[in-house]
Amino acid sequence: MSSPAPGPGPGDGAPGAPALRSHQWYGTDGLRSFSHRARTRQLGYLPEEHMGKPVIAILNTWSDINPCHQHLRDRAEAVKRGVWQAGGFPLEFPVATLSETFQKPTPMLYRNLLAMETEELLRSYPVDGAVLMGGCDKTTPALLMGAASADLPAVFVPAGPMLRGHWRGETLGSGTDMWKYWDEKRAGRIGDREMSELEAGLARSPGTCMTMGTASTMTSAAEALGVTMPGASAIPAVDSAHSRMAAAAGLRVVGLVDEGARLSRFLTAEAYQDAIATVLALGGSTNAVIHLIAMAGRSGVPLTLDDFDRLAREVPVLADVRPGGAYLMEDFYYAGGLPGLLSRLAEAGLLHPDRPTVAHASLREQLDGAGVHDDTVIRPLSNPLSPEGGVAVLRGNLAPDGAVIKHIAAEPRLLEHTGPAVVFDDYRTMQATINDSGLGITPDTVLVLRGAGPVGGPGMPEYGMLPIPDHLLKQGVTDMVRLSDARMSGTSYGTCVLHIAPESHVGGPLALVRTGDRITLDVAARTLRLEVGDTELERRRAAWRRPPAPYGRGYGALYTEHITQADTGCDFAFLARPGEVPEPYAG
């Protein structure tokens, strides 16, 4: 079969349609285009299958070691089906999987690596638009950060939550009940047989955590930003609706290419404000603070901790979902999902309804007909789970650049507390000594972990829910005040102050705390204070010496040299800054 003469096709110079990026790879009469067409034949494609058609990259974070994304290999086929149906040419690209369960010391160390991979892959290949497939905690922000920097038409496909867990007639929530029952075992109230049964019943299907952990928080934020198909974030991973949603995303992204609708059309300042409001109304993960600030930075939108704190005072918590509430994502989906919750926020005037989404001309149009089917899962505005958002931003001499706490997941009695510190310099030491009776830890103690921030962690691991000592668990103590420069899992709970900035490794005040110092937490006043005089703190600062960098070479060294602090999103400074990037020449 002879090759058709290069020339315009749909979206390729046709009247009223934008030129395709891929045209310079495929559509010119030079040697390079000849080579590209020949190699595409080598892949087994007919010229009629791709010439003049939008090339859609499907970025798939599936892998054999990521149970959250186990089904995404099949979902990619559904996306391809939609792309073909709409007249596009789909090509699947495997990208870093970032498995929250298995990757150490933390996939947060590699979020920016996936963001770089996403950006450069979309820029360097003959791609006109993209479907981004992720969901496990760091994949959502990473894919959207990279895609925002590349700024091509794109749709995000969330992996979706797994089915609810079961054990002896009890409904289990992944992560949240893992922490709960691990403490029950440490307290001696259950044994190995029960733990074996729990191990088999906690995670029963592909998909992300079915609590309102970081995964569902961030996919909900993506939907609130307007870059998913409507209702996509809460569809259970194994529901047939999930496959239909993936196909719809493939159909829609071709339309976005035809319209010339780049991602920047949707990732506006108003969209990010609405994403914050959504996270707060969900009682979502504290990790969203870091990720949304980083994502907004890639979109050229200034976003700070103060934006979160301001909105937290205005937005009620409406989603009664664990760990801050009682239900799970499957219940949330059947109750109306995110469209239902957004409809209530819109009713309260807490959203920007005139901004566009990838699926509709406006958010108002997208929410037309959305409703709530169960007021116990998605609360009415008149009966919120909490009258203000689930995250508070703290400042004080211990956190001059800010810290965060998910106070709806804390015991109320501890939200105003002063107690003596017991300080751990690193996580391994804490694990080895937390049960040492010689430390004198009591229920009033403030447990302090340092050396766990972006640089010192390295990568800011999820160490922030420090374990309660065994002897206190056996006495019935279920919460204590805990401070760190670390993060914690979105499925975690307790009075945990996180993301203290600057971190201890770079000389933040956390580095100066000593065991026995008194620390005051006052969430209502938004303060975190070390009760030590300024003169003494300056003396300690003069004696402080920076620890050696965790990495001497490789990606870890690059990370250490360029990572920003938690309050600015933990992005690489050279990726976060504005600047022109040349379009590659493929001729």
pLDDT digits (tens, 9 = 90+) for 379-430: 999 999 999 998 999 999 999 999 999 999 999 999 999 999 999 999 999 9
User: Can you give the pLDDT at residue 10?
Assistant: 39
User: Can you give the pLDDT at residue 14?
Assistant: 40
Please, where in the chain does CATH 3.50.30.80 lie?
A: 392-549
Asked whether 243 and 78 are in contact (CB, 8 A), the reply is yes
Up-side HSE of residue 177: CA atoms within 13 Å toward CB?
Answer: 25
- List the one residue out of 76, 227, 82, 89 whose CA is nearest residue 159: 76
The set of residues, in sequence order, having a beta carbon less than 8 Å from that of 230 and lying 6+ positions away, is 223, 339, 357, 359, 360, 366, 370
- List the one residue out of 324, 475, 472, 309 whose CA is nearest residue 385: 324
Residues of the chain with pLDDT > 90, as a percent, come to: 95
The set of residues, in sequence order, having a beta carbon less than 8 Å from that of 473 and lying 6+ positions away, is 183, 186, 187
pLDDT tens for each residue of 211-243:
999 999 999 999 999 999 999 999 999 999 999
DSSP state for residue 532 in the 8-state scheme: S
Question: Is the pLDDT confidence value at 13 over 60?
Answer: no
| HEC assignment per residue over 162-224 | CCCEEECCEEECCCHHHHHHHHHHHCCCCCHHHHHHHHHHCCCCCCECCCCCHHHHHHHHHHH
| Chain centroid to CA 58 | 20
Q: Give the CA distances from residue 206 to residues 176, 239, 276, 545, in Å, rounded to whole numbers and listed in that order.
A: 18, 11, 28, 47
Nearest-angstrom CA–CA distance, 163 and 181: 19
Please, where in the chain does CATH 3.40.50.2300 lie?
A: 54-163+205-366
C-alpha R_g of the chain:
25
User: Can you give the pLDDT at residue 587?
Assistant: 83
pLDDT tens for each residue of 301-336:
999 999 999 999 999 999 999 999 999 999 999 999
Residue with tokens 């703290």: 394
User: Can you give the pLDDT at residue 2?
Assistant: 38
pTM for the model: 0.95
SS3 for 131?
A: strand
CATH number of 392-549: 3.50.30.80
Question: Is the pLDDT confidence value at 47 over 60?
Answer: yes
User: Can you give the pLDDT at residue 18?
Assistant: 63
pLDDT tens for each residue of 460-483:
999 999 999 999 999 999 999 999
Residues 403, 408, 414, CA angle at the centre, nearest 5°? 75
Local confidence band at 246 (pLDDT 50, 70, 90 cut-offs): very high
The two tokens of residue 462 are 């999820």
SS3 for 517?
A: coil
The CATH label, of 3.40.50.2300, 3.40.50.720, 3.30.420.40, 3.40.50.800, for the domain at 54-163+205-366 is 3.40.50.2300
User: Can you give the pLDDT at residue 447?
Assistant: 98
SS3 for 308?
A: helix
pLDDT tens for each residue of 510-543:
999 999 999 999 999 999 999 999 999 999 999 9
Residue 323's DSSP bridge partners are none
pLDDT tens for each residue of 348-367:
999 999 999 999 999 999 99
The two tokens of residue 205 are 């299907």
Residue 518's DSSP bridge partners are 420
Mean pLDDT of 267-285: 98
